[in-house]
Amino acid sequence: MKRTRIRRRLVSALALAAGAALALAGCTAIPSSGPVELGLKALKQDEQRFQYKPPGPIVGASQEEMVRGFVIAATSAVDDYATAREFLSPGYADQWDPYYGVLIDEGSRPYREDGESAGVLSLAATAKVDATGDMLPVGPGPSTDMRFEFERVGEEWRIASAPSGIILDANTFSTIWSPHQLYFLGANNVLVPETRWYLSRTALVTEIVGDLLEGPGERMREVLRSGFPTGTALVSNSVPIVDGKARIDLTGNVLEAGPQAMAAIRQQLKNSLQSVTEVTGFDLYVEGTQLRPTPEDSEDAPHLVALPSSPPVMIDSVFGTLAAGEFTELPGFGESIHELDPIAIALSPNESAAAVLSPAGVSRVSPDGTVVLDARAGLVAPSYDPLGYVWTASRNAPEVLLAFAQDGSVTQVAAPWLAGRQLTALRLSPDGSRVAALVADGDESQVLVSGVIREDSGVPARTVSEADAKLWASGKPIDLDWMGQLRFAALTRVGAAGKVTNGGIGIFGEEQASVPGGSQLSGGGGRSYLRVLGAEGDLYAPQNSGWQRTAENIELLGKRG
């Protein structure tokens, strides 16, 4: 099924990616009827908004010209990549697999000969899109070499072996593909997004709904769930848009959903389609009969996570929040946090307690008193998840995390992907479904992200056994925080300054200007709420591509969650 998904995206999509010199053709609308096809494979080439027609091989082309022409031609999927296959030898034309994936590079592609009948195209790869539509960044390092072999067919060179998949430069990719968030259900009945990349075309709504029916991606399948009953599918091979509303006709399986599941289905669809500009709403149908919402559908509906804004800080030994330059003391803490000689503070989502890292370890501080939770040596700053668990991790044994419940009970949470890593910071996402870790990667830094698997009660059981590297950043690791459910920021040391690099799930990393003496970072609910504590207690906020000092005499910058 996963191979089917990327095949249907690529086979009717990548014709949009050729350069400006290619001819442009028209488009047609999504059909409103048709037979049921597994994986929506009936989506046709003529449903694209635009079509390009790259040229085939020219007479007398050199081996290098054949390779470069082939890469351009492979951006058109018309007739199963017929133009690209013209560059291939007859014996290899049917063997080449263009549906393997998408490799995104910077566009500079030096070529070198490798003997008399082979050549290598070197790519500065930045990311790849896998079979689920998930973008994975490619780390810094040597160029990615793509080897081609040639043979003579009559008097002309033809390619006898080529790498599988499609190559697009970053600008072209960002122009014709766009990220969209698919929402699934996480612990505590919250909506959790996954970023998927789609080609911008008339079939976009059909693909989004189809992917919702398939469920969470492979990495998050044990973490998230869907309201759609197993086996629910689209009746036809498309989701037409009528007067701005998506007409979603589902098979009878959806009737197995109870009121709570139906409420989840409607919330999943509503939030997943909100980024499609031509869609203003949707109507649900079952085998052609409209399924109207009932009062029960709104009961126990899953909710979006409320994202914080104002950062917690400590000023003159008092702990509070800072908003629009105004400091407000948080009630119930007094000087109990300051007396611990705090190194880092994580404020609980409801602001009723704080997890504090101090020389004594990690403690929970609340109006009821102070309790030491973890006295191990080498602890990193704690994290507070939305279900009330305080998470701790030791640099000495990062592969086993500890999660402390409000009653003081502790659960060991296996994170085998951290074994042997030099852990600097660990943060739970605002919805508690993901955990991000900032680790050293030689002289640079890396952010790893994994899913958090929980029992039905919300108790964390383990993390997903593997983690994906979602960001590479220059400099030594210092601090990390989420800027929402999908985005995070990493603070690293470059010289005497703290460099901030933004990243996340399914997005390109982006470096920001450095902050003098940057030592702590707080993400808040988005980039505009990002704060960095610099030298001499100065607090900085983003301003265009740089930073603006917004406060001074800050003793410590805490985090929410």
User: For the residues of 24-75, what is the DSSP string, one character each?
Assistant: EE---PPPS-----GGGTT--GGGSS-EEE---PPTT--HHHHHHHHHHHTT
> Which 8-state DSSP code applies to residue 114?
-
Number of domains the chain contains: 3
Asked whether residue 197 falls in the same domain as residue 151, the answer is no
What pLDDT, on a 0 to 100 scale, did the predictor assign at position 508?
92
Asked whether residue 346 falls in the same domain as residue 253, the answer is no
Asked whether residue 537 falls in the same domain as residue 522, the answer is yes
Give the C-alpha separation, 400 to 393, whole Å: 7
Q: Is residue 303 assigned to a domain?
A: no
285, 289, 291, 292: CA torsion to nearest 10: 120
Asked whether residue 293 falls in the same domain as residue 325, the answer is no
Asked whether residue 415 falls in the same domain as residue 280, the answer is no
Asked whether residue 359 falls in the same domain as residue 495, the answer is yes
Q: Taking residues 402-419, what's their average pLDDT? A: 97
What is the domain range of residue 26? Answer: 2-174
Asked whether residue 169 falls in the same domain as residue 182, the answer is no
CB 510 within 8 A of CB 527: no
**Of 242, 273, 298, the domain-final residue:** 298
Is the pLDDT reported for residue 15 higher than 50? no
Kindly state the percentage of the chain with pLDDT values over 70. Answer: 90
Q: Average pLDDT over the chain, rounded to whole?
A: 89
Kindly state the percentage of the chain with pLDDT values over 90. Answer: 76
Asked whether residue 142 falls in the same domain as residue 264, the answer is no
Q: Is residue 194 assigned to a domain?
A: yes
pTM reported for the whole predicted model = 0.88
Tens-place pLDDT, residues 318-330? 999 998 889 999 9
What pLDDT, on a 0 to 100 scale, did the predictor assign at position 42?
34
**Of 241, 265, 298, the domain-final residue:** 298
Q: Is residue 62 assigned to a domain?
A: yes
Is the pLDDT reported for residue 1 higher than 60? no
Asked whether residue 198 falls in the same domain as residue 290, the answer is yes
Is the pLDDT reported for residue 48 higher than 80? no
Q: Which residue has the higher pLDDT, 78 or 385?
A: 385
Q: Taking residues 381-392, what's their average pLDDT? A: 97
Q: How confident is the model at residue 7 (pLDDT cuts 50, 70, 90)?
A: very low
Q: How confident is the model at residue 275 (pLDDT cuts 50, 70, 90)?
A: very high
What pLDDT, on a 0 to 100 scale, did the predictor assign at position 132?
77
Helix, strand, coil percentages, rounded to 5, for the chain: 20, 40, 40
**Domain CATH for 351:** 2.120.10.30
Q: How confident is the model at residue 200 (pLDDT cuts 50, 70, 90)?
A: confident
Q: Is residue 34 assigned to a domain?
A: yes
* Exposed/middle/buried for residue 289 (C-beta within 10 Å: 0-12, 13-18, 19+): exposed
Q: Is residue 516 assigned to a domain?
A: yes
What pLDDT, on a 0 to 100 scale, did the predictor assign at position 120?
98
Asked whether residue 39 falls in the same domain as residue 114, the answer is yes
Q: How confident is the model at residue 13 (pLDDT cuts 50, 70, 90)?
A: very low
Q: Is residue 305 assigned to a domain?
A: no
Give me the sheet containing 476-482, strands edge to edge: 476-482, 487-494, 497-504, 510-516
Q: Is residue 117 assigned to a domain?
A: yes
Q: What does the chain come to in residues?
A: 561
Tokens of 268: 């999943």
What pLDDT, on a 0 to 100 scale, did the predictor assign at position 426?
98
Q: Is residue 203 assigned to a domain?
A: yes
Is the pLDDT reported for residue 277 higher than 80? yes
Asked whether residue 341 falls in the same domain as residue 219, the answer is no
Q: Taking residues 42-64, what's their average pLDDT? A: 71
Closest to 220 (Cα-Cα) out of 506, 526, 423: 506
Asked whether residue 193 falls in the same domain as residue 227, the answer is yes
Closest to 138 (Cα-Cα) out of 477, 475, 508: 508
Give the C-alpha separation, 350 to 366, whole Å: 12
**Of 144, 174, 204, the domain-final residue:** 174
Tens-place pLDDT, residues 119-134? 999 999 999 998 778 8
Give the C-alpha separation, 311 to 323, whole Å: 8
**Lowest-confidence region among 166-180, 202-216, 398-412:** 166-180
